[in-house]
């Protein structure tokens, strides 16, 4: 029986998706190291992997207020915000309008998420 998942990034692997669906704690690798040092299982809360770990998020077609809110939430949950779309971005949040950024995201294989 699996009780925990240790990962360095959020969301892309099948293991991550299954652990998330089953409500299993998803932890940073340093939890294993610290448990080994302590010779016991430590509480998981300080070692939970942030939900946007390894995510680089950009936006298109949103108001300045929505853009600022997404930037703040992205950083608060372990991700990076990129004002400019690049091939390093993992996600583009869009209002659904067909913008130049959205077309590039599709071309580059960047996951596009609509607010609608």
**Angle value at C-alpha 54, between 102 and 108, nearest 5 degrees:** 30
d(CA 10, CA 16): 7
* Residue 48, helix vs strand vs coil: strand
The tens digit of pLDDT for each residue in 40-96 reads 999 999 999 999 998 999 999 999 999 999 999 999 999 999 999 999 999 999 998
What confidence score (pLDDT) does residue 2 get?
80
d(CA 13, CA 86): 22
Q: Which residue has the higher pLDDT, 4 or 11?
A: 4
pTM of structure? 0.81
- Sort 27 into a burial class: Cβ within 10 Å, 0-12 / 13-18 / 19+: buried
Q: Are 115 and 96 in contact (CB under 8 A)?
A: yes
Strand segments, DSSP code E, in the chain are 5-6, 26-27, 56-60, 80-81, 91-94, 111-114
Find the helix or strand (DSSP H, E) in which 67 lies.
helix 64-76
What confidence score (pLDDT) does residue 9 get?
86
Q: How far is Cα of residue 83 from the mean position of the Cα atoms in its chain?
A: 16
């Amino acid at each position: 029986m699996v009780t925990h998942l240790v990962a360095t990034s959020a969301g892309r692997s099948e293991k991550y998706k299954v652990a998330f669906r089953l409500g299993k704690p998803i932890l940073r690798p340093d939890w294993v190291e610290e448990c080994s040092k302590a010779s016991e299982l430590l509480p998981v809360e300080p070692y939970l992997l942030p939900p946007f770990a390894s995510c680089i998020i950009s936006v298109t077609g949103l108001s300045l207020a929505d853009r600022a809110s997404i930037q703040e939430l992205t950083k608060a949950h372990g991700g990076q915000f990129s004002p400019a779309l690049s091939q390093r971005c993992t996600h583009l949040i869009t209002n659904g309008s067909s913008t130049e950024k959205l077309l590039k995201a599709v071309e580059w294989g960047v996951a596009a998420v609509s607010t609608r």
